[in-house]
Structure 1
Amino acid sequence: MNALAPQSLLQLIWLASPALPVGGFSYSEGLEAAVDSGRVHDEASAAHWLVEQLHLTLAPGDLAVLAAALPAWHAGDQARVRVLNDWVLSTRESAEFRLQTEQMGRSFLEWLKLHHPDAQACFDGLATTYPIAFAFAAARSGADARSACLAFAFGWAENMTAAAVKAVPLGQSAGQRMLARLAQEMPAAVDDAMARDDDTRQAFSPMLAILSAQHEHQYSRLFRS
């Protein structure tokens, strides 16, 4: 694989940064509910939870749709983009998860309009989801699909380890160990995502959906999901 041009690499680092103003830090994606139920209670259980989430939900779902959306944006295939965006919306199994992808998508679009004046026209009529907006930005950076997926996965992992540090709670060193473990798992997760097509891409995680629904009514919480 050819190395990314420096500008493309820097763009991907920027897109993956938790500092990007899209609100990713405010979500735990069911983790806080897992802590409340006792399923996650220490560093080992939190690391196991996130590794499983990476392989069972992120890779076959959002990473796979990102891998499909990036070439669609490169080709200017708006019809394909709309189909993929609708798939993301239809696979959100709780109100919280749907609100998350819509809110992050809207915020990402506002950020995109500062850097790509045609972004609004490209998303016209779409209830923009986060993976589809990320794919647009990655395509404009000149990144290939694998690099874009790795950047997306690492940005997700940073937000999720930060959520675990706050919710369990854990120390910063534990968070770094968990992030290192997730980074080791990411290449295989991206390989899985890249190998999927429309027939094998899937988002089915019943217990995560149940925990997310329970989180909507959780008495005390730090996160929006």
Structure 2
Amino acid sequence: MTTVEANAAARSAASLLQILWLASPALPVGGFSYSEGLEAAVDAGHVHDETSAAQWLGDQLHLALARSDLAVEAQAIPAWRADDVARIRALNHWVLQTRETHELRLQTEQMGRSLLEWARQLGPLGAGVFERLQAADLNPPTYPVACACAAASADASVRDSLLGYAFGWAENMVQAAIKSVPLGQSAGQRTLALLAGEIPLAVDQAIALSDNDRQAFTPLLAIHSARHETQYSRLFRS
């Protein structure tokens, strides 16, 4: 292997590891504390077993995540790489304005701020991400836009970055289903396998969306999220 090939392989490995890091449930952004309306759907009886949980999360992947957060990240990564601050701010504003409930807006704000703090705590290792987020003055950064900033610093494709983002979301949501339905660990793994099979299609759908096609319109999810705000007993923050 030549020096050039060895350097390219090292950069590829480093990029992959950075995307896996961002997708990890261990990332200290609080994703584990949200069910994004799933807990309320369980309370209402719409989700009650492995099959209904997989159906709910699959629909959410394609109808909500792919058309909103994944589409935003697909457009925000090249904007960060081009230092197009106006574009970044416009995408961040869109996320804030299209969250359908108070809970969902608080979630994206809290996770965005936590990712900013994560970058700050890394010191020199996260300095580039922290400084770019600070300079953009997003007030506050939303999670998909902040995550796009971190992904943009990796030498990875937009598609690979979105695959990581979506799988991280799926892991958190499956854990929420395990706790709230409840499901066993084996059922959770089967559900995660089904979602993993659907994620590439959702990512390709997101990448293909233009500004005019991007949307946030999930009425039943919004209703459950709103009801969750006053739900008597709950495990999750959304």
TM-score in terms of structure 2 length: 0.91
Say whether residues 1:194 and 2:207 are aligned partners: yes
Q: CA deviation at 1:126?
A: 2.8
Q: Which amino acid in structure 2 is aligned with residue 87 of structure 1?
A: W
What 5-or-longer segments of structure 1 have no aligned partner?
none
1:72 maps to which residue?
Answer: 79
The answer on 1:207 being equivalent to 2:235 is no
Amino acid at match of 1:95: H
Specify which of 13, 21, 24 is matched with residue 17 of structure 1: 24
In structure 1, what is the equivalent of residue 236 of structure 2?
A: 223
* Matching of residue 149 in structure 1 with residue 156 in structure 2: no
How many angstroms apart in 1 are the aligned matches of 2:178 and 2:48?
11
Q: Is 2:183 the partner of 1:161?
A: no
Alignment of 1:29-108 (within 5 A): 29-108=36-115
Cα distance between partner residues in 1 of 2:110 and 2:88? 18
Report percent identity of matched pairs. 65
| Rg larger for | 2
Give SS of 2:67's match.
helix
Could you tell me how far 1:120 is from its partner in structure 2?
4.7
Q: Deviations over 1:57-89 (max 9, x none)?
A: 000110000000000000000000000000000
Measured in 1, the distance between the counterparts of 2:27 and 2:218 equals 28
In 2, Cα distance between equivalents of 1:64 and 1:120: 19
Match of 1:185 in 2: 198
CA distance in 1, matches of 2:77, 2:23: 16
Identify which range, 184-193 or 119-128, moves more after superposition.
119-128
What RMSD over aligned residues (CA atoms) do the two structures have, in Å?
1.3
The yes-or-no answer on 1:127 pairing with 2:140 is yes
CA contact (8 A) 2:89 2:138 kept: no
- TM value normalised by structure 1: 0.97
Unaligned runs of 5+ in 2: 1-7
| In structure 1, C-alpha distance between the alignment counterparts of 2:138 and 2:200, rounded to whole Å | 34
1:116 maps to amino acid: A
Secondary structure in 1 aligned to 2:217? coil
